[in-house]
Amino acid sequence: MTKGIKDYTHPAGGWDALKAVAGALTDQDTVAKGGRALLDANQPDGFDCPGCAWPDPKHTSSFEFCENGAKAVAWETTSHRATPEVVGAHTVAELWTWSDHDLENLGRLTEPLRYDPATDRFQRASWDEATTAIGAALRALENPNQCEFYASGRASNEAAFLFQTFGRRFGTNNFPDCSNMCHEPTSVGLAEQLGLGKGSVSLEDFDHADCILSFGHNPGTNHPRMMTTLRDAARRGAAILVFNPMRERALEKFASPQDPVEMLTLTGTDIASRYYQLKVGGDVAVLTGLMKLLIERDALDHDFIARHTTGFEALAAHVAAADWAWIEARSGLARADLEEAADIYQRSKAIILCYGMGLTQHRSASSLVQQLVNLLLLGGHIGRPGAGICPLRGHSNVQGDRTVGITEKPSPALLASMQRVFGFAQPTAHGHTVAEAIEAMREGTVKAMIALGGNFAVAAPDPTLTYPALKKLDLTVNIATKLNRTHLLTGKQAWVLPCLGRTEIDVQSGERQSVTVEDSMSMVHASRGMRQPASEHLRSEPWIVARMALATFGEDPHVDWLSLGADYDRVRELIEQVFPDQFGNYNDRIRTPGGFRLPVPTSERVWTTPSGKAAFLPYVADDAAVDDPTRGDPEVLLLTTLRSHDQYNTTIYGLNDRYRGVKGRRDVVFAHADDLAARGISDGDRIDLACAFDGGVERTLKGFTAVVKDMPRGCLAAYYPEANPLLALSERDRRSGTPAYKSMPVRMTKAR
């Protein structure tokens, strides 16, 4: 038996989840504080969970948090403190050798830090000193496009809106965003096809669906409260069809910690009615096969197609041309499997299709996401109760940040609105995505980056190129709650600015403030921290952005930065003025418990596309010559990245991945036994991986351990971000810029 590997056979959730919550609170020495904070999570007058973007049910119970939400809260309310003395006790070179977990586990940052190149250490600084120096450094740039304004999806609507106002006032649309690394194909693909780059369903729709299709997501780990919704659907007999290369425990069986019967009898509910283990990157073939069958059987909603769509004939011709040999080889599924799934689709009255980053992080992902919508459109399964498309977003406000203007390609309407409200000339040239920002840093055309949260360097692919690119900058500014590796990639001048977390009380000008966030289903609601801040020197993100802007522009005739940083109602008034159709009566409506839903025209079959209809769009590969990432080489395997159950994006809470049976380690690669045997490798052997098409840059992962897993042949899986060094920056969806973290072509050998 390989060290630290043991099959997990319990249902997901259950007692193990409760034990894990207790363990997370104990690890961070925060049982009392963190435990009390959890009671305020996702409550109408409490704080929004800093975890994922799954919506809150209308009737909030006092336990509206999941295991991972609890871990996120424990991580934030930790009693560990990364004071200037604690951080400054080590050189940056020394900190660089620490693990990502150990860096964050130093605890909450307590005061602004300035990097001192002479000693290679961070030192205490004052807020005045920091903002004044940052303002001066920005003014010294030769042109505004030399700065990147990076935002993470943790930022509230208020912080994000001020940040984009800051960037545009400075004169650039350089807004690389964490969305560029996750759901950007949704924003691009769905917007082109339906007029709105967001999901169409609400939480209530799940009560009416009789079929749920699940592609490329693992809700037990990444949005765990969705499990309650799936369990309810399974219990009332809805068909749940899962398409995923690996068997994820929560999609098989789940025990609700809030169900006394399941807890006392140690039983659970079966979730998936069918589990199809397709090949990594095989979704396009599955979707093509399903659509081909439905069209051949004439299992179509002709009335809907005629009244609401364009492009059906082109799609029908496209899928008719696909042959079954290709569909079966590329998907790894037999035609009989797809016939069975098509039968269930055909019988269903209302279908919801859910998908996660297993779909969005591929080459050509914007077009791939459109195939999901095509599948729904064939049966008219969009824009009516119980039916629609449901992208599962990761970070809690990643969708909201986009809504309030964080975009590198602003529409003319957004720029006109900003100009009308603020009166300053808007930059019109498109800015950079994350990948483009890294390329510009490498070329030297970008010289500064301000990061509103996140762990840019670790989240991005290709550290061989990305890390040195950041080190070349003249100015790096990171707004953060904890120290992470990106902060150690110091520019010539480098600042780390500590901010309040979601759980903490935010007082400005003597008044308690709330911020607002938008979940995956377009619900906007207030979030108000209830705990005392980790340090008296912490400042809120809106305050920090406003002070940096003030230091950059001085007295500004167009934006009253000081008052915006001091009263978030004023920020919301401006958001309402810039986006009147979406945020009417913003301040009133967020004071209603539960908040309000932004307009979702697609849920009412209103298509804001140029044709006024939803568009069937056939699959188009970014590069037809190499649509298959293995490029036809049988020695090449496709590696997908995973998050463990003790992880949230780049934050590693611990080294266990309970549901996959991994304990105390992350240096593993899951593989089919035959793929290992074909290379003379046994379970537990040390292996090396290398990027298959490296373009002359060596990208390897050495000394990992092979673990046999039930997965299709030709596929591998390893943890993100450890596997990121295998992915070339150029391997990305051309239209959205999203890196292909879910289909990396690699070669595997036994380690020497």
Q: Which of 66, 378 has the CB closer to ligand SF4?
A: 66
User: Which amino acid is it at 528?
Assistant: R
The window from 63-71, 116-124, 248-256, 566-574 that contacts ligand SF4 (CB under 6 A) reads: 63-71
Q: Considering the rule CB under 6 A, would residue 312 count as an interface residue with ligand SF4?
A: no
d(C-alpha 290, C-alpha 337), whole Å: 10
Instruction: Please state, in angstroms and rounded to a whole number, the distance separating the CA atoms of residues 171 and 41.
Output: 38
Is residue 647 a contact residue for ligand SF4 (CB under 6 A)?
no
- How far apart, in whole angstroms, are the C-alpha atoms of residue 280 and residue 282? 5
The least CB distance from residue 523 to ligand SF4, in Å, is: 12
Tokens 């505004």 locate to 144
Nearer to ligand SF4, 227 or 327 (CB): 227
Number of residues this chain uses to bind ligand SF4 (CB under 6 A): 11
CB-based contacts of 510-514 (< 8 A; 24+ apart in sequence): 511/567, 513/540, 513/567, 513/568, 514/568, 514/590
Which of the stretches 47-55, 116-124, 402-410, 662-670 binds ligand SF4 when contact is defined by CB under 6 A?
47-55
The CB-of-514 to ligand SF4 minimum distance in angstroms stands at 17
Closest to ligand SF4 by CB, 62 or 608: 62
Nearest approach in angstroms of CB 648 to ligand SF4 is 8
Return d(Cα 27, Cα 59) in angstroms, integer: 31
154 makes contact with ligand SF4 (CB under 6 A): no
- HSE of 117, CA atoms in CB hemisphere, 13 A: 9
Instruction: Choose between 17 and 716: whose C-beta lies nearer to ligand SF4.
Output: 17
Question: Rounded to the nearest whole angstrom, what is the least distance from the CB of residue 54 to ligand SF4 in the complex?
Answer: 4
CB of 466 to ligand SF4, least distance (A): 27
Look up residue 645 and give its amino acid: H
364 within 8 A of 627, measured Cβ to Cβ:
yes
CB within 8 A of 306, min separation 6: which ones? none
Name the pairing type of β-strands 744-750 and 686-691.
antiparallel
d(CA 46, CA 41): 6
Query: Does the footprint of ligand SF4 cover residue 354 (CB under 6 A)?
Result: no
Q: Which stretch binds ligand SF4 (CB under 6 A): 60-68, 259-267, 283-291, 348-356?
A: 60-68
Residue 54 engages ligand SF4 in binding (rule: CB under 6 A): yes
Q: Give the C-alpha separation, 525 to 516, whole Å.
A: 5
Q: Residue 628 in contact with residue 330, Cβ under 8 Å?
A: yes
Q: How far is the CB of 391 from ligand SF4 (least distance, A)?
A: 15
Q: Does 224 bind ligand SF4 (CB under 6 A)?
A: yes
Residue with tokens 């609170």: 25
Q: Does 257 bind ligand SF4 (CB under 6 A)?
A: no
Residue 601 · residue 195 · CB < 8 Å? yes
Binding status of residue 49 toward ligand SF4 by CB under 6 A = yes
When the beta carbons of 503 and 705 are compared against ligand SF4, the nearer one is 503
Nearer to ligand SF4, 414 or 523 (CB): 523
Give the residue with the Cβ less far from ligand SF4, 277 or 647: 647
Is 231 a binder of ligand SF4 (CB under 6 A)? no
Token pair of 254 as six digits: 């789940």
Q: Is 393 in the site for ligand SF4 (CB under 6 A)?
A: no
Which one of 30-38, 66-74, 246-254, 294-302 is the stretch in contact with ligand SF4 (CB under 6 A)? 66-74
Asked if 197 interacts with ligand SF4 (CB under 6 A), we say no
Query: Is residue 175 within 8 Å of 406, Cβ to Cβ?
Result: yes
Q: How far is CA 253 from the centre of its chain?
A: 25
Among 5, 21, 66, 681, binds ligand SF4 (CB under 6 A): 66
Per the listing, tokens 């373009």 go with 695
Least distance (Å) between residue 356 CB and ligand SF4: 13
Q: What is the crossing angle of helices 283-296 and 335-347, to 10°?
A: 60
Return all residues near 354 (Cβ < 8 A) that are at least 6 apart: 212, 213, 214, 215, 217, 390, 391, 392
Smallest separation, CB 55 to ligand SF4 (Å): 8
Q: Which is nearer to ligand SF4, 70 or 566 (CB)?
A: 70
Per the listing, tokens 């860096």 go with 103
CB 313 within 8 Å of CB 644 = no
Task: Assess 51 for contact with ligand SF4 (CB under 6 A).
Answer: yes
Q: How far is CA 668 from CA 247, 660, 714, 749, in A?
A: 17, 11, 17, 14
Q: What's the half-sphere exposure (Cβ side, CA atoms, 13 Å) at 296?
A: 14
How deeply is 546 buried, as exposed, middle or buried, from its count of CB atoms within 10 A (0-12, 13-18, 19+)?
A: buried
Binders of ligand SF4 in range 709-748 (CB under 6 A):
none
User: Which of 51/565 has CB closer to ligand SF4?
Assistant: 51
Nearer Cβ to ligand SF4, position 52 or 209? 52
**DSSP element (H, E) containing 669:** strand 668-671
* CB crowding 330-347: b at 16 or more within 10 Å, else e: bbbbeeebbeebbebbee
Q: Is 114 in the site for ligand SF4 (CB under 6 A)?
A: no
Is residue 394 close enough to count as binding ligand SF4 by CB under 6 A? no
Bridge-based pairing of strands 523-527 and 147-151 is unpaired
Q: Which is closer to ligand SF4, CB of 51 or CB of 712?
A: 51
Contacting residue, 225, 253, 318, 363, with ligand SF4 by CB under 6 A: 225
The number of residues making up the chain comes to 752
Does residue number 653 form part of the binding site for ligand SF4 (CB under 6 A)? no
Asked if residue 497 binds ligand SF4 (CB under 6 A), the reply is no
Q: Decide whether 104 or 408 has the Cβ nearer to ligand SF4.
A: 104
CA-to-CA dists, residue 119 to 82, 88, 161, 243, angstroms: 19, 10, 37, 53
DSSP state of 539: B
Instruction: For ligand SF4, give the closer residue by CB, 51 or 281.
Output: 51
Instruction: Tell me the pairing of strands 12-13 and 253-255.
Output: parallel
CB of 458 to ligand SF4, least distance (A): 20
672 forms part of the interface with ligand SF4 (CB under 6 A): no
What backbone torsions phi and psi does residue 110 show, to the nearest 5 degrees? -120, -25
Residue 656 near ligand SF4 by CB under 6 A = no
Find the shortest distance in angstroms from Cβ 383 to ligand SF4: 26
Sign of torsion over alpha carbons 551, 556, 559, 564: positive
Smallest distance from the beta carbon of 365 to ligand SF4, in angstroms?
23
Q: Which stretch binds ligand SF4 (CB under 6 A): 13-21, 169-177, 219-227, 232-240?
A: 219-227
Region from 45-53, 191-199, 253-261, 639-647 binding ligand SF4, contact rule CB under 6 A? 45-53
69 binds ligand SF4 (CB under 6 A): yes
**Which is nearer to ligand SF4, 223 or 231 (by Cβ)?**
223
User: Strand 309-310 vs strand 351-355: parallel, antiparallel, or unpaired?
Assistant: unpaired
- Nearest distance from residue 624's CB to ligand SF4, in Å? 39
CB distance 318 to 619 below 8 Å: yes
At its nearest, how many Å lie between ligand SF4 and the CB of residue 229? 10
Q: Among the candidate windows 178-186, 218-226, 359-367, 487-495, which touches ligand SF4 by CB under 6 A? A: 218-226
65 binds ligand SF4 (CB under 6 A): yes
Two structure tokens written together for 470: 């950041």
Which x/- pattern, by CB under 6 A, does the window 367-386 give for ligand SF4? --------------------
d(CA 9, CA 162): 48
* From 29-37, 79-87, 221-229, 573-581, span contacting ligand SF4 (CB under 6 A): 221-229
Q: Which residues bind ligand SF4 (CB under 6 A)?
A: 49, 51-52, 54, 65-66, 68-69, 223-225
